A and B are shown apart, each in its own frame.
Chain A
C-alpha cells in the first residue's frame, strides 16, 4: 500500500478527539475520496500524512507511506518524504504562494533546495511542468508574481509545483473549492489526467459527496472525526448505508428531480461536543434510544463498511 492510515487518533484539547481511530488506505494509481462537513477532520488527516500536526496534539496510531511510519520517522527522513514522496494541493492557491516571490522561485525552490538539482535543470523542469498543467506562456509565467495571475492559473502553478519532485502520492485538500465553476472543472480534469498518466495515488478531500462519488474509486465519509462509511464510490452513491451519507446525498437538489431538498437537521458537531454513543444520533432521523449508547465500530456491508448499528438490525 502506498498510504495506509491505521487507527489514527489525534487529540488537541477539545472535549472529543479531532480524529478517532481513522483507518484508510490509498494504493498506487487509486483515487480515494474523503468527504465530510467542515470540522469533520478531513484536512487534519491530510496534514497528518505530512506530519503537520496541531501544536501540542496527542497522537496515536500509525501513518505509513510506502511502509515507513511518518509519525515516528527522523526529521531528515520527514523532509525527504515531504520533498520527494508526498505532495499536497491546497484549497486557496492565492495564500499557498509567497506573495513576494516569483512563480519561478516557487517552482524551483523545492527542486534546488531540497532535492539538490542545479538551477538550470530546475528551471527547465519548471517550464516543462507549467506547460504540462496547461499554462500558455511558461517563459513569461516564471517571471510573474502571484498577484498577476488568476486563481485558476495559480492552482495550476500549485499543481505543477506538487509534481516537481515526481511524488507517488498527491493530497488534494479541497483543491477546487475556492475556484469558479468553469475553472473547477478544468482543474479537476487536469488533476485526473495527471493522476492517470503518472499512476499517482491520490487522496481527494472535498465536502461535495456528489463530486467525490463521480471522481473517486473509493470514498470514506467522515463525521465528527470518525469514518462512518467507506465503500466503492458507485455503490455508496447508489445505496448509502449510513444515515449521514444518505442525508448528505439528499441535501443537494437535482435537475428534473422534483424531490424536495432535505437539509440534515441540527449543526455539525464542534470539538466541544462529546458523545457517549453514536455521534450522529442527535441528528439522525432513524435514531432509536439505543443509538445514544452504542459505540460506533465499522460493520461490514456490501463492498466496504459502515458504522451504523441499524444495518445489523
Chain B
C-alpha cells in the first residue's frame, strides 16, 4: 500500500515536471501575451511583468515555486481571465465529470451487454455486433455529434442541442462519447468470455447439471470480469482527457474546452493546471482499477 502510494506520488512529480517543462519550452515569449496590447510593449513594462511572474528565474526555481504553490492548492492566476485557476477549474470540472460519468455508464452497460450477446449467441449475432460497434467507433465524434444534433436535437426536438446543466442536456454528448468506446469494451468482453468458456472448470460446472444461463453468469462472465473491469477503467481514464471535441460540438463549458482555449491564448497557469488534473484523474482511475482487481481475482491477493 505504501509502495503503491509512493509510486503514485513519483509519477505525479515526473508528469508535473514534464508538463511544466513543455509549457516552458513552448514557442513564443509569454511576456508578449502577458503584456496585453501593443502600446504596452515598452522595455520597462516588460521588465516589470517579467519580475512579477518571476520569468527571469532559472527553470528549476520556477518549477519549484510552481510545484510548491500547487501542493498547497494555489495553482496560480489565469493570465487570460485574471481569475484564480482553482476557481476556473471548480467551475468547469462538474460538467466534464458529469459528461464522462454519464458516458461511462452508457458504454459499460451497452458495451458489456453487446459483448456478452456476441459471445453467447455467436454466429451472425457476433458478426453483427462486431460490424456495428466497429462502424460506430470509426465515425469521428464530431460527425456523430453533428448527426445526433440534427436528428434528435433539430428534427425531432427531443434533446437540447447546446449547453449543459442537466442529464437531459448531457445525453447527446454522452452518447457521442460512449459510441467510441463501445467497440473496444464489447470486444474485450466477448474475447474474455470466449476464453473463459473453453476452460475445464466450465465444462465441470456443465457436467454438474447447471443450466447454461447459470454457467454463463456464475462462471464464464465471472471469470471474464478482470479484463473487462481493467478495460472499462482505462477507457474511462482516457476519456477524461478526450472530451474537447464533444464539449466544443455541444457548446459545453468543461475542462476540455478550457484547455484548448488556454493553449491558444498561451495561458500557461491554466494549461498546466488542467493537464496536471487530467494526469491525476488518470492515475486515480487506474489505481482504483488496480485496487479492485484483488476483489475480483483472489489469486491476485498476496499477503506479504
Contacts and interface: CB of A to CB of B under 8 A. Distances in A.
A110 B204 contact: no
B84 to A, nearest CB: 48
B74 to A, nearest CB: 46
Interface string A103-121: 0000001100110000000
Interface string A50-94: 101000000000000000000000000001111110011010100
B207 A88 contact: yes
B210 A100 contact: no
Contacts of B204: 88, 90, 96-97
Interface in B288-304: 296-299
A218 B240 CA distance: 69
A109 B296 CA distance: 19
Interface string B215-249: 00011001100000000000000000000000000
Nearest to B214: A113
B204 to A, nearest CB: 5
Nearest to A95: B200
B6 interface: no
Contacts, number: 69
B207 A50 contact: yes
A100 B199 CA distance: 13
B298 A79 contact: no
A253 interface: no
Interface in B158-203: 199-201, 203
Contacts of B200: 90, 92, 95-96
Contact of B222 (A79, A101, A114): A101
Contacts of B28: none
A79 B209 contact: yes
Interface residues of B, number: 21
A215 interface: no
Contacts of A113: 210-211, 214
Contacts of A81: 209
Contacts of B208: 82-83, 87, 109-110, 114, 161
B206 interface: yes
B205 interface: yes
B210 A98 contact: no
B207 A99 contact: no
Contacts of A145: 298-299
Contacts of B199: 95
A83 B222 contact: no
A96 B206 CA distance: 11
Given A109-B218, A145-B299, A96 B209 contact: no
A100 B211 contact: no
B222 A99 contact: no
Interface in A102-147: 109-110, 113-114, 145, 147
A95 B201 contact: yes
A100 B226 CA distance: 10
Contacts of A110: 208-210
Given A98-B223, A100-B222, 13 more contacts: A79-B209, A82-B208, A82-B209, A95-B200, A96-B201, A97-B201, A98-B201, A100-B298, A100-B299, A101-B218, A109-B208, A109-B210, A147-B298
14 contacts: A52-B203, A79-B209, A83-B209, A83-B210, A88-B204, A90-B200, A90-B204, A99-B201, A99-B299, A101-B218, A101-B222, A109-B210, A110-B208, A147-B298
The 9 closest A-B pairs by CB, nearest first: A83-B209, A82-B209, A95-B200, A145-B298, A114-B209, A79-B209, A110-B208, A96-B204, A98-B201
